Structure 1
Amino acid sequence: MTLPGSLRDMPPAELFPEVYARDPHHQGFARGGRAAALEALARLDPVTYGRDRSSLDGHVSRLSPYIRHGVLTLAEVRDAALAHVPATAPSRAWKFVNELSWHDYFTRVYAQVGELVWQNFQPYQTGWPQSAYSYDFPEDIAQGTSGLACIDAWSRELRETGYLHNHSRMWLASYVVHHRRVWWQGGASWFLTHLLDGDPANNNLNWQWVASTWRAYPYLWNRGNLQKYAGQRYCAECPLASGGCPFDATYAALSERLFRGKKAAPGGEGHLDPARLQAVPWEPPPAPEAVPDAVVWVHGDRLSPTHEALTAYPDRPAVFVWDDDLLRQWQVSAKRQTFIHECVSELPVHVLRGDVAGQVAAFARAHGSRTIATTPSPSPRFTAIVAALESEGFTVQVWPEPVFGASLTPLDLRVHGDYWRQVSASAFGKPPAPPKPRRAQAKASG
């Protein structure tokens, strides 16, 4: 069987001309690939991060696109952070390592719930029923023409660079869901299109947190909060700064205006049974045994030369497939495709496009192999591709990545705090320890 020629060196603008014609912003804030990732990692300062990360001008790592696409593993970034502080004082990197743990936590939740990540885990805790939220994403937000200087600036930054500071993400999401009463899934889809680090785990679960479909109450912010972390950069140029600003109110006043009470509306429907996340089995995944004739499948969640299957089979053929259906489904922007292309260009892979399972199977057959080696992914799409390959008679080996945090007991993923108590010792490079007890609640005086 003859394979099509590799698309590895074809410029992405030629691969996806319709996307590059639609999106004028062809390069995002970060360059793709392992070399660029290591440069960014070398600039990491976890101590300063812990002090001023909340400010829009604060020290943030901007490593998230490399983590999201597996160019850097969480364990690798964690180790780099701990190397910046004395071995006797790992707590100086505590906040940065704890923030990394959210990536691991959301990924684990996504692995359990799959496509449910696109549905409300619980009803909105706003007093409004689902029917009160519009399914039409506002064009003025999408194009940055709302007339609100902050909202329009964040829309522009998202579309032009593929980046938003975490505070800006929460503020923008809160405006979309609570002020404009738009379903959070529309905003999550918009973010996935543009963010270089967009993935359904971190992206959607944060939108659910803001919306209150995975939280006890909705997330709000006001003008005072904006000015605390962003200064006057937006208010100074906003035509509504002297009157009419929708954020210039106390939290109590905003809640009264925006919500019918911080509770679920009668008849509200949630789609997640919390027990599903209560005791998730965990054990260190075993490495498969190498076989002589395997081929390697590299997917978008692990685009690194340190890819475990590539390392296990350094002399065997490897393939990466542009998933045309997924790119259309997510409407992936040109800047995201450029980033991924730059990552893939550093890898020793034959690049194809189309139906992933079909192309990977054809690649394996062309090389006379019945074994396909790859790395894990929490995506239900990955699970479906593996099932399709196995139904064709292939053996799919999944080579595990380094573990960020191990646990001695099944994981409780209902809330991040319980998960963190279980893995925190291991996350700091120590042997797994029994879960730390919950902190006792302080009693009210008087």
Structure 2
Amino acid sequence: MPKLPASLPASLRDVPPAELFLDVFARDLQHRGFARGGRDAALQALAVIDPVTYGRDRSHLDGHVSRLSPYLRHGVLTLAEVRDAALAHAPDTAPSRVWKYVNELSWRDYSVRVYAEVGDLIWQDFEPYKTGLPASVYSHEFPADIDEGTTGAACIDSWSQDLRETGYLHNHIRMWLASYVVHHRRVWWQGGASWFITHLLDGDPSSNNLGWQWVASTWRAYPYLWNRGNLVKYAGERYCASCPLADAGCPFDATYAALSERLFEGREAAPGESGHLDPASLKAVPWEPSSTPETVPGVVVWVHGDRLSPTNEALAAYPEGPAVFVWDDELLKEWTVSAKRQTFIHECVQELPVHVLRGDVAAEVIRFARAHGANTVATTPSPSPRFRAIVTALEAAGLTVQLWAEPVFGESLTPLDLRVHSDYWRQISASAFGKDPAPPKPKRPRTKKGQSAKTKT
């Protein structure tokens, strides 16, 4: 690592986060989550994925899920390399064996692309609730009994405990828990999304918030519900067997029709309600392959939380250059990030050749660049509006910012239609399976049950 200029404070790289964030570690007694941070741990987890079996039993709580999401969210692994690892489990003649796994990876790419377009709007209702209820009936105060796991429902309380203690929830549980928060307790989805981001090792506003909007019906034609039968189908009796509400008072022991009648005023938006997203803004998002910058002298590398890997493209471009990571005090406070998450990030950073600072990110990167006499900052892209604001501040300080992109997950021959995942998937699916980009296949016309798709004469 280059010699440290005298004007910079000592690196915090090897300082345990428990010493840096005393209040967080005192508040969150679970200091380590379900996964260890860093590239070595990520590669160990990647080596044992079973994408073929995943396609058959992923919805079951004991199914073959990979638990790679924290490594993908923080850029320790890229979607492209996880996709390539999945394809290695299927012969070239039978990529369909891992189709579902690759398709599920695409949801991450899709969510990130939507987030890049909508920015902070990710925290607003894209559409009105389709529950017949106005947004005003959903409480902005998150219930303490859900947060503490004291609702009395064994499933809900167990999931709350798992979230707080491990930083992980199976995707099916995430939907079940979100549905309970929003529809049974009538809490605005933003509160639940913030709760998840605090504790989940993979929490970020892209996949997380879009998932909550999907459940809430602010980005879906109807609200997501589940009942006891659905729970038992995918989880067995592990919760119901010990639940004090199992024989009387279970809020989920009803048909879907009965639940819908109990919880909703209707299955459409209440009169006068509207959303904040113009769907046309996602209809034709320009697609262009990322260009690779040319290496230049006088560069420092800024590593941020979306690409915490030794394979970081900016680090690879300038392997001998000074590099910096900054603990973003403002963001950590805004998201009330848990001790588990900070430990995971710290473990990732320890594998990187970076000087670690904390405070205002833009100010610290500017200070780091000036201390090294640099006029260019090399980094990797991020969909976050906060990232764009930091880049703007760096440029306003007279610095040139180079963006070194990671390998793409899927390419398109046309502007991307991000209004719904299925249209996006049709555009990039060929490339996602390692083939040359191809025009999307035409949609098959929907027909009523029992009616042929052919035109009747």
> Per-residue displacement from partner, 1:210-232 (whole Å, max 9, x unpaired)?
00000000000000000000000
Work out which of the residue numbers 279, 291, 294 in structure 2 matches 1:289.
294
Q: Where does residue 455 of structure 2 map in the other structure?
A: none
Matches of 1:256 and 1:9, distance apart in 2: 56
How many residues are aligned here?
Answer: 446
The SS at the match of 1:328 is helix
Please tell me the residue identity of whatever aligns with 1:292. P
For residues 135-150 of structure 1, what are the structure 2 equivalents within 5 Å? Answer: 135-150=140-155
Matches of 2:42 and 2:171, distance apart in 1: 20
Q: Where does residue 98 of structure 1 map in the other structure?
A: 103
For residues 74-85 of structure 1, what are the structure 2 equivalents within 5 Å? Answer: 74-85=79-90
Work out which of the residue numbers 199, 208, 215 in structure 2 matches 1:194.
199
> Per-residue displacement from partner, 1:356-413 (whole Å, max 9, x unpaired)?
0000000000000000000000000000000000000000000011000000000000
Please tell me the residue identity of whatever aligns with 1:419. Y
Matched, 1:245 2:234: no
Q: Where does residue 182 of structure 1 map in the other structure?
A: 187
The SS at the match of 2:142 is coil
The SS at the match of 2:374 is coil
For residues 100-119 of structure 1, what are the structure 2 equivalents within 5 Å? Answer: 100-119=105-124
Per-residue deviation, 1:243: 1.1
Please tell me the residue identity of whatever aligns with 1:270. G
Tell me the TM-score normalised to structure 1 length: 0.99
For residues 405-420 of structure 1, what are the structure 2 equivalents within 5 Å? Answer: 405-420=410-425
User: Structure 2: which 5+ runs fail to align?
Assistant: 1-5, 452-457
Matched, 1:319 2:324: yes
Q: Where does residue 442 of structure 1 map in the other structure?
A: 447
Please tell me the residue identity of whatever aligns with 2:7. T
Q: Where does residue 15 of structure 2 map in the other structure?
A: 10
The SS at the match of 1:321 is strand
- Percent identical: 78
Matches of 2:309 and 2:217, distance apart in 1: 36
Work out which of the residue numbers 64, 84, 87 in structure 2 matches 1:59.
64
Per-residue deviation, 1:209: 0.2
> Per-residue displacement from partner, 1:8-35 (whole Å, max 9, x unpaired)?
0001110111100000000000000000
Per-residue deviation, 1:440: 2.3
The SS at the match of 1:373 is strand
Per-residue deviation, 1:244: 1.1
Matches of 2:233 and 2:301, distance apart in 1: 50
Please tell me the residue identity of whatever aligns with 1:192. I
Per-residue deviation, 1:443: 3.1
> Per-residue displacement from partner, 1:173-201 (whole Å, max 9, x unpaired)?
00000000000000000000000000000
Q: Where does residue 361 of structure 1 map in the other structure?
A: 366
Work out which of the residue numbers 195, 202, 210 in structure 2 matches 1:205.
210
The SS at the match of 2:272 is coil
Per-residue deviation, 1:442: 3.1
Work out which of the residue numbers 270, 290, 309 in structure 1 matches 2:275.
270
Matched, 1:43 2:52: no
Per-residue deviation, 1:267: 1.2
Please tell me the residue identity of whatever aligns with 1:271. H
Matches of 2:136 and 2:372, distance apart in 1: 53
Please tell me the residue identity of whatever aligns with 1:191. F
Work out which of the residue numbers 318, 334, 339 in structure 1 matches 2:339.
334
Matches of 1:408 and 1:26, distance apart in 2: 46
Per-residue deviation, 1:439: 2.1
Matched, 1:73 2:68: no
Matches of 2:22 and 2:441, distance apart in 1: 53
For residues 15-34 of structure 1, what are the structure 2 equivalents within 5 Å? Answer: 15-34=20-39
Matches of 2:384 and 2:450, distance apart in 1: 48
Work out which of the residue numbers 401, 419, 429 in structure 2 matches 1:396.
401
Work out which of the residue numbers 364, 375, 383 in structure 2 matches 1:378.
383
For residues 148-167 of structure 1, what are the structure 2 equivalents within 5 Å? Answer: 148-167=153-172
Please tell me the residue identity of whatever aligns with 2:27. R
Please tell me the residue identity of whatever aligns with 1:393. G
The SS at the match of 1:372 is strand
Per-residue deviation, 1:445: 3.1
Q: Which moved more, 1:78-87 or 1:149-158?
A: 78-87
Please tell me the residue identity of whatever aligns with 2:111. F
Matches of 2:145 and 2:233, distance apart in 1: 26
Tell me the TM-score normalised to structure 2 length: 0.97
Matches of 1:87 and 1:41, distance apart in 2: 20
> Per-residue displacement from partner, 1:258-282 (whole Å, max 9, x unpaired)?
0011100111120000000000000
Segments ≥4 residues shifted beyond 6 Å: none
Please tell me the residue identity of whatever aligns with 1:359. E
Q: Where does residue 123 of structure 1 map in the other structure?
A: 128
